[in-house]
Structure 1
Amino acid sequence: MARFLHFSMALYTLEKESSTTNTTEQVILSKIEESLKNAQKPVVIAGHEVISFGLEKAVTQFVSETKLPITTLNFGKSAVDESLPSFLGIYNGKLSEISLKNFVESADFILMLGVKLTDSSTGAFTHHLDENKMISLNIDEGIIFNKVVEDFDFRAVVSSLSELKGIEYEGQYIDKQYEDFIPSSAPLSQDRLWQAVESLTQSNETIVAEQGTSFFGASTIFLKSNSRFIGQPLWGSIGYTFPAALGSQIADKESRHLLFIGDGSLQLTVQELGLSIREKLNPICFIINNDGYTVEREIHGPTQSYNDIPMWNYSKLPETFGATEDRVVSKIVRTENEFVSVMKEAQADINRMYWIELVLEKEDAPKLLKQMGKLFAEQNK
């Protein structure tokens, strides 16, 4: 009898907790629904937790049905389908494109989903987001107009957003800037490289960008539909993306992976090239040879020897690790025309890995990195 009573009390407690949680979720959803209906200039900001918990499709469906304007931080890029008309681009504090910055910061209601505000994703904390007009939900807690809410199911709330009724945004978006890339015989530069990448990437690709010039260039491009983005802006751990790209390619063989990694970062984890050859993987790897730690030169020590690295013969690395031409194609690219030609060749050849060395100037860096470097340098004084 005592055992049965104990079981009954445990069941009652479980049902009570479940009921309370469900009530909390409904309150949150009601608050979101009410706020969206009352807002004239709402905006949704999606973050990396949307990706971590596999909620990209739920967010995309919600935004697609409601036509709500949405942005992501670079730490959360690809949390929503970037081909949607309502996708504004990447918000990054004062480093954002000016019309996007003004749109986001003038919103009368902000719905943040799975966002963490970090230095490298907010323009060194130069964001201006009014918390009095914000509902922010994370996996461990929520903040509803400055009031903390706990003990709710983040995944359940985000998955239920598309069930909200009577919400359809009818306002204006911003004009997104697209430039047709017309290659020339000029030497390849950082700014032109990322214009070309944006133009040439295809649907169902995964872009992997090392935390250096690659991340600050690739995070600004608009991805095609059903694309993913992998980066590491939180800890800035260089060398992460080469093994990460290989692991992700093993896990998702249907999405062709395009890795962009600097020479300094590659030298930390290059031994994983042996794994890729053994597993017969087929990513397209772009090794940016700009003679050292360019990202660090932008932040501190542009002429210091600690930002120099030994010059390797990068195009010979696949052969060194035992690859044959029928498994890995190795190329060296110096001009815009060469980049476009090799990119198209690699995308068409889905059965082999492409190992492409991009030769760029030592002090050349994406505009966003140069701006971020100045902010970080000021903070470090």
Structure 2
Amino acid sequence: MTTRRKFLTTGALAGAASLAAPAVVRAQAPIKWRMQTYAGAALGEHVIKPAIEAFNTIANGQMEIELYYADQLVPTAELFQAMQSGTIDCVQSDDDSMASPTDVTVFGGYFPLALRYSLDVPALFTKYGLKAIWEEEYAKVGVKHISAGSWDPCNFSTKKPINSLKDLEGLRIFTFPTAGRFLTQFGVVPVTLPWEDVEVALQTGELDGLAWSGITEVYTVGWANVTDYFLTNNISGAWIGHFFANMDRWNEVPPHLQKMLETCFEQSHYYRQHWYWAGEADLRINGGKLKLTTIPDAEWATVQDAAVKFWDEIAAESPVKAKVVEIIKKYNETMVQAGPPYRY
């Protein structure tokens, strides 16, 4: 039987033990990442900021991402190098803009005429095997490829009207490296500038226009205020962009937070799909600032034929590039054979 004396003695000893060796509870410091996007602040409000705010909220103090916009920490062309070295932990960009030293770099951004619609991108990555290729190529250089997604098409927004291919000759155009390489055969002069300098360059005449985005972005970032015409023909139906991380930093993150990052980034891809898709149609009709022009289909077919030749040139550069081009060709052949609504 437990007597009152034994109870008090036991309780006193237990209390003394508790006082002698108190439990120490320490809150673990949150994991902190610095992330830079290729997008400027105005565009970033839509294409990345909501995803980062959502992640920081859901992470509930376990992890926090500090977001930086285009060129705030390093120039966009140095994003890959900064991420690889650990100066930046995470990046949102296409491969082309950040000068990625991989065999898949030319396919990021706008690979000419390879894509018709935004859904082509996730279909190619998840169903046709591009995801595995990207993961392998980036792992070779110490970078984690987290996910790929589609953005807007690539149209021309210019100060002069474009009604034929001849009108492209001599135009100084802000565009992506691979897109610029392709467009030179039509007389375009590709120009590279910091993203935030583009609007001023259009005002001063340093640029004649841009082939950087669809009409949604042109209005969102203010370029519709300094250009006059929008060409409805596009050199790609969707931009391929990605989320990347320094591999060592990625491996330091617990699995549940890795999954949370992947989920928030996938939600970000989804948001951009419907935001751009709706905006591209609405602003053509209701934008009010840009006049629409079109190169006739028969003449634009010249560009489409040139794109296929360009694919073959790229494929000849390496086995990895050849493999990606083969997948792109197979995918497009399937879409054409399937007919509307996949291809018209």
The normalised TM-score by structure 1 is 0.29
Tell which structure's C-alpha radius of gyration is larger: 2
* RCO comparison, higher one (Cα < 8 Å, 6+): 2
The normalised TM-score by structure 2 is 0.31
